Homo-oligomer: A and B are copies of this chain.
């Protein structure tokens, strides 16, 4: 099989690494100035709009997929007329816009936080009055890792925040007093087979994921899987996705859907029988999905801004380093560590110790 991947970042890189053992060849398209996946597969640096004219690439590809939500909808639609595009452009359109996403999830019976559409300062003021504080103003499109998001409290200067938001279409979301944040990663193949990974508990700091830990028997697993199956089956979704939830008074409130492999699923590389990357590829190639069971207690720590590069860290038993080949830069995800231990207690101790060490060495933001 030959897969054309739209996007050339770390998710594409890990897809390429998972593709090789399955005998799948990949090529990459990304208009960005650099691609950390290009080390491992041919990279075509062209504007998205030029791609539908590239008959050579479209004829080469058996299937097209993407690693980021930044591909313009009209480009995806043009590609889908020529070759299978998985997940479908329709899903990307909904998942890539926070307002459409909320309506979509509500329509599927999946609970979401109270929210309002905001297209002007006046609408922002009204929405804040209705939903109260704390609340979050978020761009409808293109925000990620805390960018394009503002936390509003009673004393916030709404005019100033609206100015910072550049007047872009946005939504206001009521703050949810959550007990914890979890996500469900799941895959569905072209034949309708579905596999869900264990629910993963996540810790964010300044809007950036710090740590993920799959839960062996989360009491909310069945509820989360029910929502995921509804979404996957209704949309005839093909590929891997992640749904992020808040846990509030013991129930799930969906925060957002990522129609792609997801940072909170990186632990599957060593922690699950089959990684989220391998299952995404199996799904879009129409092959049986692999098992999603947890093979041992596992956690993932992101490396943000830099990797301390101390070889001593490699001596950590059960720690697995995944660097993305990216130059260090503040706030940038440059890699992650997965930790796999025979028992939960050892894992918790190691995670706490390494998290502290990464904070001290500047590879994680301090608490």
A25 to B39, CA, bound (A): 8
Provide the residues of chain B in CB contact with A323, threshold 8 Å: 20-23
Q: Does A144 contact B (CB under 8 A)?
A: no
Q: Does A142 contact B (CB under 8 A)?
A: no
Partner of A287, one of B17, B314, B335: B314
A325 to B340, CA, bound (A): 30
Q: Which of A54-62, A229-237, A244-252, A289-297 contacts B (4 or more CB under 8 A)?
A: A289-297
Whether B335 pairs with A314 at a CB distance below 8 angstroms is no
Q: Does A315 contact B (CB under 8 A)?
A: yes
Whether B39 pairs with A273 at a CB distance below 8 angstroms is no
Whether A20 pairs with B13 at a CB distance below 8 angstroms is yes
Partner of A290, one of B16, B39, B290, B314: B314
Query: What are some 23 contacts across the A-B interface (CB < 8 A)?
Result: A16-B40, A17-B20, A17-B21, A20-B325, A21-B320, A21-B322, A22-B323, A23-B321, A23-B325, A25-B39, A25-B325, A273-B318, A282-B314, A286-B311, A287-B311, A287-B314, A288-B312, A288-B314, A288-B315, A290-B314, A291-B317, A291-B318, A295-B295
Q: Does A43 contact B (CB under 8 A)?
A: no
Provide the residues of chain B in CB contact with A17, threshold 8 Å: 17, 20-21
Q: Does A307 contact B (CB under 8 A)?
A: yes
User: Which of chain A's residues 252-297 have a Cβ closer than 8 Å to chain B?
Assistant: 273, 282, 286-288, 290-291, 295-296
Question: How many copies are assembled?
Answer: 2
Provide the residues of chain B in CB contact with A321, threshold 8 Å: 21-23
Candidate in A20, A286, A307, A323 with the most chain B CB atoms within 10 angstroms: A20
User: Which of chain A's residues 296-331 have a Cβ closer than 8 Å to chain B?
Assistant: 296, 307, 311-312, 314-315, 317-318, 320-323, 325
A45 to B22, CA, bound (A): 26
Known: A21-B320, A25-B39, A282-B314. A273 touches B325 (CB 8 A): no
Provide the residues of chain B in CB contact with A311, threshold 8 Å: 286-288
A322 to B314, CA, bound (A): 26
Provide the residues of chain B in CB contact with A288, threshold 8 Å: 311-312, 314-315
A303 to B20, CA, bound (A): 16
A23 to B295, CA, bound (A): 26
Closest to A287 in B: B311
Known: A22-B323, A291-B318. 19 other contacts (CB 8 A): A17-B20, A17-B21, A20-B39, A20-B323, A21-B320, A22-B321, A23-B323, A25-B39, A25-B325, A40-B41, A273-B318, A286-B311, A287-B311, A288-B312, A288-B314, A288-B315, A291-B317, A295-B295, A295-B296
User: Which of chain A's residues 312-367 have a Cβ closer than 8 Å to chain B?
Assistant: 312, 314-315, 317-318, 320-323, 325, 335, 340
A21 to B317, CA, bound (A): 17
Provide the residues of chain B in CB contact with A318, threshold 8 Å: 273, 291
A312 to B17, CA, bound (A): 22
